[in-house]
Amino acid sequence: MESMLKSFAHIVARNSAIGMAAQLAIKLISFSFSVLIVRNLGVQAFGQYTAVAAFCSMFLFIGDLGLSPYMIREVARLRDTPGGILRIESLYGTVATLRLLLTTLGVLTMMLIAWITGRPAVMLIALGLNMVGMILYGLQGTSDAILAGHERFDMSAATKILYQLLFVVIGSIALLSGAGYYGLIGATFVAVTALTYSCWRAVSHLGIRFGSVAFHAWPGLLRASLPFGVVAFALGLSYKFDSVLLNIFHGDVATGYYNAAYNLVFSTVILSNIINTALYPSLTRQAVTAPESLALIYARALRYLLALALPISVGVTALAPQIVTFLFSSDYAPAIPALRIVIWVVPLMFLSEFLGYIVVVAGREGRVARAIMVSTGVNIALNSVLVPRFGVLAAATMTVITEAVLVSQYLWLLRRELSHISWGRNFGRPVAAAALMGLLVIEVAWLPVLVSVALGVLAYTSLCVALGVIGPDEWNFVRRLRQPLAQGSTG
């Protein structure tokens, strides 16, 4: 058991480390550029830009229908089997062709609904400019699924860095030249084109080519990926429906305030996504080769995810006025109450993503789809009633409630798998450490915001050690992780 855990830890740690470095670089660039966008466009134009993005996101699911996560799982299973390469190549060609057709259908549906619902001409033009980029993104997603299934997160991360650099450089030129968010859409198209090509080249370096298209396999693929597709559809609605409603009922300015807070929150979720993306294919293989080790892995991963998420929520709640003013200027002060609410979705999202993967690894995708449909139904119903009346604060509150409903369902579904976990240690101690850190941060909030953040990080780390959140198990885990690497380097 110990040797299996150690091998598993190396794979996940390697993938997480590569992903962490690359994704943090991407997010740092992206975050800095998003601040430039907010400051340059102003509240109203930023609201228009995010409304267009929200509308597009609600239709991206049609171009995927769950095929990407299905492909990742199948490639992870097939790559070490006899004849696996040929089967992967056939899957590659078949899914790429199917996604091209589905994405085209998706963008046409998007334009039709935008026209039927009376979206303004400025939005219809922006959506039209996005169409070709959405089609290319569908092709890129197929190649990226092949890389993820082979656990080549280094290659995937390199292509995403290229995309982000191109988007930032071209987008900055567009902003500074006065092209507005039309210029940003053009920058997205150029960057997506480069991303699609670089992903295809990366897959080619693995020796994978487009196989023959098995048209007869399309119905079976759609049936198999349907649970994943339902998840994508529901998540697209859950995460963007509130922005669309805000734009319809309260206009561009309210949409801008809400998305300034919303985008800050989702910038932090990258930490969870890196870990979970690395875990997913590795857990899939572990479930086949060493299922007895999964319980310990689940407990440890949940502990680390919570220890990362809780101080983010507490710290941002305490420093929300300073953070918003520092990043966006005092013009965005109305976003502060929304930020203090919506930041509490972070620990819930850290949990829900990982718990959802546990259910998928167990082959119960249908349960994931049902849980997400329930939480999305709650989101749509409550947002439809409350957002038109209460606006931004209702949207922020519903985001947190939706994620809480989803987590509650996953915990119920996994009550047997998680029955061994000591919830007092995994929850109680990190909560205590984060609460004490929050009190300290409030006391030093008069300092420059970066100084307050640094003091908060130092205080939380010290409290985690003092309260046993970080203890002998963690240090032993790190030592075990390093030993084989050291031996390998000397051999």
Q: What is the mean pLDDT of each run of 10 residues along the chain (491 residues)?
A: 48 51 67 81 82 79 79 82 82 88 85 80 80 81 85 77 85 83 85 89 86 83 78 75 86 88 81 69 60 67 84 93 89 92 92 83 73 88 92 93 92 80 74 90 89 91 81 56 40 34
297 falls within a domain: yes
Q: Are residues 256 and 230 in the same domain?
A: yes
Confidence (pLDDT) at 52: 82
Q: Are residues 432 and 408 in the same domain?
A: no
Q: Are residues 315 and 362 in the same domain?
A: yes
For 36, 98, 108, 195, 261, the CA distances from 32, given in Å and listed in that order, are 6, 36, 33, 20, 15
Query: Into how many domains does the chain fold?
Result: 2
416 falls within a domain: yes
Q: Are residues 372 and 444 in the same domain?
A: no
491 falls within a domain: no
Confidence (pLDDT) at 339: 94
490 falls within a domain: no
Name the domain boundary from 365, 393, 421.
421
Q: Are residues 58 and 160 in the same domain?
A: yes
Q: Are residues 324 and 211 in the same domain?
A: yes
Confidence (pLDDT) at 474: 57
Q: Are residues 304 and 282 in the same domain?
A: yes
Confidence (pLDDT) at 488: 39
377 falls within a domain: yes
Q: Which residue has the tokens 């996101």?
A: 57
Confidence (pLDDT) at 26: 66
For 413, half-sphere exposure in the C-beta direction (CA atoms, 13 angstrom radius) is: 24
Give just the sign of the alpha carbon dihedral 442, 445, 451, 453. Answer: positive
321 falls within a domain: yes
Name the domain boundary from 402, 421, 440.
421
Q: Are residues 409 and 433 in the same domain?
A: no
243 falls within a domain: yes
Q: Are residues 459 and 385 in the same domain?
A: no
Confidence (pLDDT) at 5: 46
Confidence (pLDDT) at 480: 47
Q: Are residues 15 and 35 in the same domain?
A: yes
Domain that holds residue 392: 2-421
Name the domain boundary from 403, 421, 439.
421
Confidence (pLDDT) at 91: 85
pTM greater than the 0.85 cutoff: no
Q: Are residues 322 and 451 in the same domain?
A: no
Q: Are residues 370 and 439 in the same domain?
A: no
